[in-house]
Structure formats: C-alpha cells, structure tokens
Structure 1
Amino acid sequence: MSEKRKQVSAPTQSKKRGYIVWNTQMDTILISVLYNQLNQGNKGDGEWKPQAYQAVVDELRTKLDMSLTTENVRNRVKIWKKHYGVIMEIRTQTKFKWDEEKKMVEIALEDLPEWMKYTQANPSAASYSNKSIDHWDDICVLVGPDRAIGDGGEHHEEGATMMDEEACDGASSSVDTTSTSSKKKQKRDNLAEAVTSVAHTLKSYVEARLKATPTLGGKEVYDEVSNVIGILRPQVLKAVSMFVESPIKFQVLKDLPHDQKLDWIILCLDERRAM
C-alpha cells in the first residue's frame, strides 16, 4: 500500500509529450539549490554547470524521495526561460500593463481588442493575460539576464500549453522543435535585442524593487537565513518560506545580533507550528 501511495504522489510524466509535472514544493527546492549553486560559482557563460543540475536532483531525492534526472531539471529551467522571454517581449514591446505586485500582465476590458490582435500575431502570449507568474522575481535573477535565445528560447508557440499545464501545479517540457521561417527568426532577433538591453539593469531593478516594497524575494531571505550560525539544512527552507510571508519577522531577524538569530528562527517556527 505504501508503494502505491508513493507512486501516486510522485511527479507524473507523459510518454507522448515528455512532460514532468512540477509542484510548488519542487520549485521551492529548485530555487533554493540554484541560489546556493550561484553563490558557489557554478554558473558560467550563461548556463548552469552540470554539478548545479545534479545538486537539484540530489536535493529532490533527499527532501522529497523523488528520482528525477538532470535533464528533467534542465527542462524546468528552459520553461522558466520561455516564460521570461514571452513576458519581457510583452513588457518591452507593447503598452500592456505589468502588475508588479501580482506579477502578471494586466489586460483591462478596454484593452481586449488590442490584446486580441497582439495574440493573433503572437499566439504564445495568449495564456499570459491576467495570470500570475509564480516565482517571477527568482526567475529574473536565476535565468533572466542570460536567457538563452537559441537553447529552447525560440519555442514560444509552446507558451499556451505551458501556462495551462502550470495551472495544475506546473509542467516541464522536453519537447524540442526548430523553426526555420524568416519571420520567426526576425522575432527572435528582436527579442534578443530587447533582452540584452534589459539584462544590464535587471538585477539592480529587482534589488531596488525588493527594498521599495514589503514583498520579499527569495534570494534576499535565503542569503540571510543560510548564513545564520548553527542553522540546520531542513530549517533553512522552512524559515525562508515563513519570512517571505512575514517581512516584519524577517526585519527583526536582520536587526538581531548574530548569536541570537538562530533562537529567533526557532521561536518563529515553533509559533508557526502551534497555529
């Protein structure tokens, strides 16, 4: 019976389409590991090094008892790159509004006619209207500035499918297609130029936004918590999740002396469990 339950809770994969379904818990672990790998210098030339992907596989096996491959992790990162590409194209080349608090392209009723025209020419954008993009700030930091145009980034026609799949906890696709039309090539060239112009200021933009609003990004919280003396690995993710939801408690953590930070984290976690 226990084996059946484990099989049901594991991520499902479609042999026909090559999808591995990712949920929020898996994404949280992925983000945490990639930040750690970034700090260790395991990213270069615009791509994560093999050991970074392997570290994610190992952590998912340890924390969730899941057997994924490094290719599964690569495909999830590719999906993030595609999300980033579609959203940045909308933000840099159209007048449609971006809701920074909700992390979504906001299409008002009066903008629907123009949005329909835009999506007819850019079908992959259709599923991004009024849909919040999970982990957007982390996506910007981890894959945004060096988004690979030629490494799966051209497959924007998959955008609608990906967004529909992620409505049910997210999907990672290993589908590989190639476009040779001059129209698509021109679109990729335009997108590459737009991304390049944004890349130089993206990191500072994200950091400034985090300071200007009470909403916390994963990197700031993770860096602070992971440096607390004596904290255990299982406690790190729990504390990150808690402090992202409670900026006031996180500010207290930052203000405390180093020898009291761990006590504060344990106290907050105990209070959370008692709720």
Structure 2
Amino acid sequence: MDLDFYLLVEHHNNGDRAQNGWKPHVYNACIKHVKDTCDVDITKENITGRIKTFDKQYEIITKMLAQSGFGWDWVKNMVSVDNEEVWSRYVEANKEARAYRNKVVHNWESINIIYSKDHVTGAGARTGAECVQEPQDTPVVEEAPEVPQKRQRTGDAILCMMGKMKMSFDDALKTTEPLPMPKVTPPTEILAALKKVPDLEDSDMLRAYGKLIVNERLFEALMALPEELRKPWLLTFD
C-alpha cells in the first residue's frame, strides 16, 4: 500500500490535487498501480484512509521538529531526540507523540512534498511550529519573534526536506510563495531501470523497487554504477 503513496507524489507534482481532494482519475491510477505491481486489490476507501494517517503523521512530526532538541534521522527514518529528558517533557504535554519515540516513517520526504504547502500556505492553515510558538492569547503581529539559534537550525532542516533552502523558517511562514520541490523520479522510470538489470529475479526486483522509490539518492547511486555492478549491488539490499 505504501508503494501507492509515491504515485500520489507524482500526481501531486502534475497538479492533480484540488483544494477539496484528489481528482477522480488519481484514485483509479493508484488502484491499478497496486494491482499491476503487487497483485493486490484495494479500493478508494483504502487510499483515503491511508492518506488520513499520513496527514496525522505530518501534524505530529512537524510539531516535534519545530522544537529545540528534536531532529530527523534520515538513516533510521525516525525522529531523533537529544536526550530522554527532552522527550519526557515533550510527551507529557503532547500525549499523541508518545508512539513516535522509535516509530519508523519511511515516507517522510514524500509526506512533506504533498502536505507542506497545504499546512504552510493554505487558507487558514497552521503548521505544527505555529501551534507551539504562537501564544493563544497574544494577537498575531507582522514581525516574527526572535527564536533561539538552535530552533532556527531545526526549522531550516524542515525546509531542507523540500529541496534547496532559499529562505529562513520565519520567512517561509510569512510568504505565500510555494516552496521548491525536490526531484521525484516516477515509479515507472525506476521499474523500467530495474527491468534492464540482467538476470534479476522478480523477488529481488520488488525488494529493490521498494527501496528505490523511497530514497532518491539510492536510485541515483544505482544509475551511476556500471551495468555489470548493478545486480550485485541490488542484491545487498535486505
């Protein structure tokens, strides 16, 4: 089912997502993709249910990443915390985050691509950072408040997930200009490249496919290798 999410990223970049949701043909394309790739039958309800899960993950994780002492571990695909004291204080006030102490989220980069614009620039929308930094009884002012240097670095890290950073975190909250999107290789292109690898078994191909659609750098590394080394390298994937 997660393989289907990366097809949503492709359709998102093609402008197939309206304010009231995805265009009908997107669901049909996702259902067909999962059937053709995994021989599994899913429904539109399966897709919308999974999307709601990703939306909740985005809200919870971005709220954490906006805090001093939190970061994102791109190797382990999970939230990293400076120490247990920081974590204990945070979950005491944010019970919904407790399950994310060691939770692996393989789709974090793609989740950002789809949801970040909605939550940062959408009408009336608020990011997790805004929910924390803006006091409830304090009127919103034009000028953003000063924040500690460590929090600025954390905010910058969130923007880096969306591509090359061109503005500070505070500037991003004030602007309505869309953030730059990172390159996303279409799943069809990745699958075509794997099919060109000689004598690659179907099971090994599916295992590699699942890894490559998650990590753009892995696919770039594959294409940089000489053809005779691609299969041995792919077989090292767990």
In the superposition, the TM-score normalised over structure 2's length comes to: 0.57
- Letter paired with 1:207: G
User: Which residue does 1:104 correspond to in 2?
Assistant: 78
- Letter paired with 1:89: K
- Structure 2 unaligned spans of 5+: 121-125, 135-143, 145-153, 166-181, 197-201
Cα gap change, 1:127/1:37 in structure 2, threshold over 3 Å: closer, same or farther? same
Q: What SS class does the counterpart of residue 65 from structure 2 fall into?
A: helix
1:142 to 114, 129, 138: 114
> How many angstroms does 1:60 deviate by?
2.0
Deviation digits for residues 122-144 of structure 1 (CA, Å, limit 9, x no counterpart): 11101111333212111111333
In the alignment, is the contact (CA less than 8 A) between 1:77 and 1:143 conserved in 2?
Answer: no
User: Which residue does 1:208 correspond to in 2?
Assistant: 164
2:224 to 251, 259, 262: 251
2:52 to 78, 97, 103: 78
Distance in 2 (alpha carbons) for counterparts of 1:204 and 1:46: 28
Cα gap change, 1:138/1:107 in structure 2, threshold over 3 Å: closer, same or farther? same
2:184 to 210, 219, 237: 219
- Is 1:117 aligned with 2:89? yes
Q: Percent identity?
A: 23
User: Which residue does 2:2 correspond to in 1?
Assistant: 27
Give the structure with the higher percent helix. Answer: 1
In the alignment, is the contact (CA less than 8 A) between 1:105 and 1:129 conserved in 2?
Answer: yes
Q: What SS class does the counterpart of residue 219 from structure 1 fall into?
A: coil
Cα gap change, 1:102/1:208 in structure 2, threshold over 3 Å: closer, same or farther? farther
> How many angstroms does 1:226 deviate by?
7.5
Cα gap change, 1:249/1:59 in structure 2, threshold over 3 Å: closer, same or farther? closer
> How many angstroms does 1:113 deviate by?
3.0
Cα gap change, 1:242/1:104 in structure 2, threshold over 3 Å: closer, same or farther? closer
Distance in 2 (alpha carbons) for counterparts of 1:34 and 1:79: 14
> How many angstroms does 1:35 deviate by?
3.2
In the alignment, is the contact (CA less than 8 A) between 1:57 and 1:69 conserved in 2?
Answer: yes
User: Which residue does 1:90 correspond to in 2?
Assistant: 64
In the alignment, is the contact (CA less than 8 A) between 1:53 and 1:74 conserved in 2?
Answer: no
- Letter paired with 1:71: E
Distance in 2 (alpha carbons) for counterparts of 1:104 and 1:123: 18
Distance in 2 (alpha carbons) for counterparts of 1:57 and 1:70: 7
Distance in 1 (alpha carbons) for counterparts of 2:9 and 2:52: 17
> How many angstroms does 1:52 deviate by?
1.2
Deviation digits for residues 25-57 of structure 1 (CA, Å, limit 9, x no counterpart): x212x1342133234431122732222122212
- Letter paired with 2:184: K
Distance in 1 (alpha carbons) for counterparts of 2:118 and 2:100: 22
Q: What SS class does the counterpart of residue 145 from structure 1 fall into?
A: helix
2:131 to 186, 190, 213: 190
